[in-house]
Amino acid sequence: MLLNNQNLSVLEVQVLGVYQTKIEVKTISGECLFVYPTQTQKDDPLFWQSLKDIIKAKLWLPINKTLHQLIDSDWLVPMNA
């Protein structure tokens, strides 16, 4: 199932830049937030390279509204969500 239910706790964001271990993002409404990567993401050089590519391509990503963390499954969620 695609993430298209407005009741889900997901924000659509565009990555603006990386500052130390914080990722600055902008929501569709223009609000700027910081996303905090998990320890696994912090230690993964491929994650940081992918993030640079995402910034360059200006892609939109889903984040958890409450925790401000990237969603591992990207825009897909289980059918029971």
The burial class, CB within 10 Å (0-12 / 13-18 / 19+), for 16 is: middle
> What digits encode the pLDDT tens for the residues 26-71?
998 999 999 888 899 899 999 999 999 999 999 998 888 877 777 7
Q: Which strand (E) or helix (H) includes residue 27? A: strand 22-27
Q: What are phi and psi of 15, to 5 degrees?
A: -75, 130
Dmax of the chain from CA atoms?
36
**Domain extents in the chain:** 10-70
Hey, which residues does 25 pair with through a beta bridge? 15, 33
pTM of the full predicted structure?
0.73
Hey, which residues does 27 pair with through a beta bridge? 13
Answer yes or no: is pLDDT of 22 > 70: yes
Pick the CATH number of 10-70 from 1.20.1070, 2.30.30, 1.10.10, 2.40.50: 2.40.50
The answer to whether the CB of 23 falls within 8 A of the CB of 35 is: yes
